[in-house]
Structure 1
Amino acid sequence: MIPVTILTGFLGSGKTTLLNRILSENHGQKLAVIVNEIGQIGIDNQLIMNVEEEIMEMTNGCLCCTVREDLLVALKQLLDVKAEGKMDFDGLVIETTGLANPGPIIQTFFLDPVIQSAYQINGVVTVVDSYHIHKHFEKGLEAKEQIAFADVVLVNKLDLVGESEKENLLQELQGINPTAKLIEATNCDVDIQSLLQIQTFKTKDTLQIYPHTEHNHLEGVKSFVLREERPLDLQKLNEWMSAVVQELGEYLYRYKGILSIDGVDKRIVFQGVHTLFAASYDREWQEGEERVSEVVFIGKDINKEWFQEHFEECVK
């Protein structure tokens, strides 16, 4: 399956700089990039090697095309040129607009069977402008939501802030999203390959960062981890989560974790966005490994006590 990375961040955060690096540098990755408007990126014509069905092939082997009206059309168009052998790519990066909540884009990959069988969400990278981020926070929830959705937060423009400001900001960001990996940068000068090796499904380690603490550093956005050492009943869990997303789905930005299900020898990887969630079998539980279910929830004004109480009711 083709890994998909969703790139988000407010205007001026450095997102365009990062996209230009992906499309121009020899980083060893053959990536397709879907952008909202090619003109905004300012691609050098000398870097365009070939054009096929409005998809541009760059000299470094990467591809670039626009969303135009429908993301699904762009995704299937890329699959077509790959299947026909006209162009090739090993991964996909999708740019969102500055104010866009990445939730609907993530949901696209849950809804269409063709897309679901060909692509797999690798993760969300949010680029943050360290110097202006608090102004974005003051304007509303959008900036906090983008951080809440992230698997990786690229903390950019750190050359413009002092050491104490940087440390406070890193704590704030980790408070909004305790499972996100924070990467410090100036002018988006990061290793592209390591940035995109997110593997959001490798959840076990990330949940250990803040296993028992509820975070509410910024008004409106809360995150917490639920933990249960007893095996869960799959039917009870599915019925509960279905009821949760029906009632609270619009307030749930991201939720993901590892589940220990009664009678199942494999770990179950679980993740969702708003009203859509999915689960899949992972590796087998290892001998001597603690079989524990851990799920992180990140959302708007969500109540940990309520979630914990009902989560415990899903025990076999």
Structure 2
Amino acid sequence: MQDPTPAADPRIPVTLITGYLGAGKTTVLNRLLATSEAGHVAVIVNEFGEIGLDHDLVSEATEEMVLMRSGCLCCTIRGDLVATLSDLSRRRAKGQLSFDRVVIETTGLADPAPIQHTLVLDRAVAARFLLDGVVTVVCAATGMRTLDAGFEAVGQVAAADLLVLSKTDLVAPQALAALEARLRRLNPAARRLRADHGGVPAGALFGPGVLRGDATPSQAHDWAGLAGTAELRPGPVPGLATTLPVPADAGGRLPDSLSGLSGPQPTGGAALHPVLLSTAPAARHDDRITALVATLEDPVSSEVFGLWLETLVWMSGADILRFKAIVHTTDDPHPFAIHGVQHIFHPPVPLRHWPAGDRTSRFVLIGRDLDRALLEDSLAFLREGPRSPDDPDARVVLHSLDARPS
């Protein structure tokens, strides 16, 4: 008997939209506010003046909120994000406002990680809102220069679940292909969407970071950024420590050791050879990014995996920009999906609709200034190490990792 389909999450989905100055976020946000095709959306911005609302589409306006004829609304952050979200939730519950989801726009230089932390760690917020994903808008015309000029832009790309390339109609095909190759090198886990002439279907922006328990292997691989990796070819990667799996089309209960995760996170995982992502020289900011996609062919004890994860997060958590994994354990015939940023992890999601013959774990790690040798040591431990955390080898290996020179 199959498990029932997971019930829909009653919380309000929240999407973060980020991107460097001039990337085209304003166009994306105005389209969201002007149409009801994706439902009624509440957009939170820093200042109304920054978004340039079309006054012909405004039905009602106050000092802190603008209601659009589409049924969407736009408001500014009052005090802090927690207060703003709490106010929106309260007024929605009273029937004073009607919206189906929230979009938060960050400033051009903002790191999305603190907002992600708020949505996951603040109990009152997490009870009412669910992080739906991070969308980073990249200008196709200026993206290369932007990535060269500031690490903030590189970090925003690395943190994304979805990359929207704006103004693609303004650049030559060769230039666009080069930018897309660079974005893929920085963040192989993110889906990419071209926005010709500023057009982005509103629904395409939502849900890139969410994976349901009834997901198929194809959907799970797409969520983790593992679909289509078989097209890559071997070769050196200048300035990058990148490992990718061979074809990603091969072929339970929540582990107790991971049920409390909302703070630790891992680094990498691979039993396979490096693969070329791009032959173009990496820019100096790109050099700081490690994008690791890897596989683990045999199931591992959930306790060992949890110990490995906690140890690596303790050592490198602040520099983990994105982690996604589909993990098979010896404790359950079904895998689970887990993802997080820095020290903050979302609850693992058991994947019940998984073919019995596929027991390969898959990892995606994107980090900043990570220790390559440390990653390789940790992967060797996870891949070949003890089957139980009580095995003396586990403590010896992890102690040696903890004691590495700083």
- TM-score for the superposition, normalised by structure 2: 0.72
Q: CA deviation at 1:307?
A: 4.2
Matched residue, 1:270: 338
* Paired letter, 1:270: I
Matched residue, 1:21: 31
Matched, 1:172 2:182: yes
| Residues 1:243 and 1:288: Cα distance change in structure 2 (over 3 Å) | closer
Choose 1 or 2 for highest CA Rg.
2
Moved more, 199-208 or 236-245: 199-208
Matched residue, 1:151: 161
Q: Is the 8 A contact 1:255 1:272 kept in 2?
A: yes
Unmatched 5+ stretches in structure 1: none
Matched residue, 1:96: 106
Matched, 1:139 2:149: yes
Structural mapping, 1:200-239, within 5 Å: 200-201=210-211, 202-205=219-222, 206-210=225-229, 211-212=244-245, 213=274, 217=282, 218-239=286-307
Question: What SS does structure 1 have at the residue aligned with 2:184?
Answer: helix
* Paired letter, 1:209: G
Q: CA deviation at 1:287?
A: 4.3
Q: CA deviation at 1:176?
A: 0.7
Matched residue, 1:243: 311
| Offset from partner CA, 1:14-39 (integer Å, 9 cap, x none) | 10111111111342421111111112
Question: What SS does structure 2 have at the residue aligned with 1:279?
Answer: coil
Q: Is the 8 A contact 2:33 2:72 kept in 1?
A: yes
Distance in 2 separating the partners of 1:306 and 1:8 = 35
* Paired letter, 1:263: D
Structural mapping, 1:50-69, within 5 Å: 50=60, 54-69=64-79
Distance in 1 separating the partners of 2:355 and 2:158 = 34
Matched, 1:31 2:31: no
Q: Is the 8 A contact 2:18 2:106 kept in 1?
A: yes
Moved more, 247-256 or 230-239: 230-239
* Paired letter, 1:102: P
Distance in 2 separating the partners of 1:314 and 1:203 = 28
Question: What SS does structure 2 have at the residue aligned with 1:226?
Answer: strand
Distance in 1 separating the partners of 2:358 and 2:86 = 42
Question: What SS does structure 2 have at the residue aligned with 1:219?
Answer: helix
Distance in 2 separating the partners of 1:155 and 1:314 = 45
* Paired letter, 1:176: L
| Offset from partner CA, 1:37-63 (integer Å, 9 cap, x none) | 112112234433345893332111112
- TM-score for the superposition, normalised by structure 1: 0.91
| Offset from partner CA, 1:73-95 (integer Å, 9 cap, x none) | 11111111111111121111110
Matched residue, 2:358: 290
Matched, 1:309 2:380: yes
| Residues 1:310 and 1:2: Cα distance change in structure 2 (over 3 Å) | farther
Matched residue, 1:114: 124
Moved more, 215-224 or 34-43: 215-224
Higher strand fraction (1 or 2): 1
Question: What SS does structure 1 have at the residue aligned with 2:148?
Answer: helix
Distance in 1 separating the partners of 2:61 and 2:149 = 40
| Residues 1:48 and 1:223: Cα distance change in structure 2 (over 3 Å) | same
Moved more, 156-165 or 70-79: 156-165
| Residues 1:207 and 1:200: Cα distance change in structure 2 (over 3 Å) | farther
Matched, 1:257 2:325: yes
Q: Is the 8 A contact 2:36 2:72 kept in 1?
A: no
| Residues 1:67 and 1:306: Cα distance change in structure 2 (over 3 Å) | farther
Question: What SS does structure 2 have at the residue aligned with 1:121?
Answer: strand
Q: Is the 8 A contact 1:50 1:58 kept in 2?
A: yes
Matched residue, 2:87: 77
Q: Is the 8 A contact 1:8 1:125 kept in 2?
A: yes
Unmatched 5+ stretches in structure 2: 1-10, 212-218, 230-243, 246-273, 389-406
Distance in 1 separating the partners of 2:174 and 2:84 = 44
RMSD between aligned residues: 2.2
Q: CA deviation at 1:189?
A: 0.8
Percentage identity across aligned positions? 33
Question: What SS does structure 2 have at the residue aligned with 1:18?
Answer: helix
Q: CA deviation at 1:10?
A: 0.9
Q: Is the 8 A contact 1:269 1:280 kept in 2?
A: yes
